Structure 1
């Protein structure tokens, strides 16, 4: 099975690894992202089966222009991988930056919903697939997760709603919910704090972007009658802790 996949946020992390995985299997890949130079580097690596579509997922006008200008060979999208997203800050809600909250919502919620809406007619026509990247933060709250966790809970519930609405169309929709995964994501979240990055991943044997890419590819290439509704993935080293109890002195 091959076709055309559009992967948002393809300039790094899960998206970049997914572009490589699909291209290696003979798929045409449209990779979106804000950083043109990174997408051009990926095109130089992957060749003519990769098309860089440079736009910010929060800029609907730029999104429309990029989708309209896709070359004919890349315009019929069979699989949409909604990967673009970010977390900003690790502070508790009462110490968080409202601008960071708004950026997470614009990227993780509004941008994801917008590109999905625009590609739905073609995905229905081709009985395609949508793979949404949520997070274990959609299910399990943690200190500092506040708005990021809320956006990923949206992605999870939006996936379920799409499944319900697309009943009978043949379109498959999946929410993939990774746990601890070592990627540039954490450098962005901590504002480039390498010490915090190293402390988080040291000795953890965390998931790697290639692990998530393999999972996305597996879900997207299952037999057409199979749908994985929701898939939570953690490294073996990660599990659940006890509930915290605050005690008055």
Structure 2
């Protein structure tokens, strides 16, 4: 039987790697993101489908849902950090943007796609969180607050749908060396982005997180993985937590 997965934020980084990993495991993958050229190229590469979608726009998410029949796996990957400001100096609008994409975006997409996940008798939702959803660090108040929120949303979904054959997993990476995440956070400053990885000889890469998602999606439906926290070996649990992604 054909299995279908949908990955948001599939235009780069963890999202693109996850789409490739799931396609390699036999899924037909819907690649959803804002940048049409990138997801169209990715969909052609993996034999999937590209759908332009902005998770912060309700109409865009609704259009995404209307184009689906049934769905086996939803990967809520779209997210990001947009500043490194202290609480005292932070722009509330920037914090609102981070909450919108990291939490409300997951809310919109999950609400819209639950009927498709139920269509074949149950499905899996994987939310890409962060170890920032487990710690606090200077300059990260807005992002860590959003990722803490995502963690609680995932936990709540699991409780609210425990009577249904639906599974909800959070994959929480630590330091992952993706080019765009740091550049967006630091306003395009390459030096600040590169300094993020100082002291860790071998950070994770997007393919490492994609493999975790692929593994979770490969398990039988009675197996629920609540959460997976994954860090590079060199990043001890308390080692410069402000660097965690």
How does the TM-score come out when normalised to structure 1? 0.90
Residue segments in structure 1 that go unaligned for 5+ positions in a row: 244-249
Q: Which residue of 1 aligns with 2:191?
A: 195
Q: Which residue of 2 aligns with 1:219?
A: 216
CA shift at 1:202, angstroms? 4.2
Q: Distance in 2 between matches of 1:39 and 1:128?
A: 24
* Aligned pairs (5 A) from 1:90-105: 90-105=84-99
* Aligned pairs (5 A) from 1:143-182: 143-182=138-177
CA shift at 1:193, angstroms? 1.0
Gap change, CA 1:94 and 1:2, over 3 Å in 2: farther
Residue segments in structure 2 that go unaligned for 5+ positions in a row: none
Q: Distance in 2 between matches of 1:2 and 1:211?
A: 25
Rg larger for: 1
Q: Distance in 2 between matches of 1:135 and 1:2?
A: 31
Q: 1:79 aligns with which of 46, 51, 73?
A: 73
* Aligned pairs (5 A) from 1:119-138: 119-125=113-119, 126-138=121-133
CA shift at 1:197, angstroms? 1.7
**1:98-154 Cα deviation digits (max 9, x unpaired):** 221111111111111011011112323431001011110111111111111111111
Q: 2:57 aligns with which of 53, 56, 59?
A: 59
The CA RMSD measured in Å over matched residues stands at: 1.7
Does structure 1 residue 17 correspond to structure 2 residue 17? yes
Aligned residues: 237
Q: Distance in 1 between matches of 2:108 and 2:218?
A: 24
How does the TM-score come out when normalised to structure 2? 0.92
Q: Which residue of 2 aligns with 1:247?
A: none
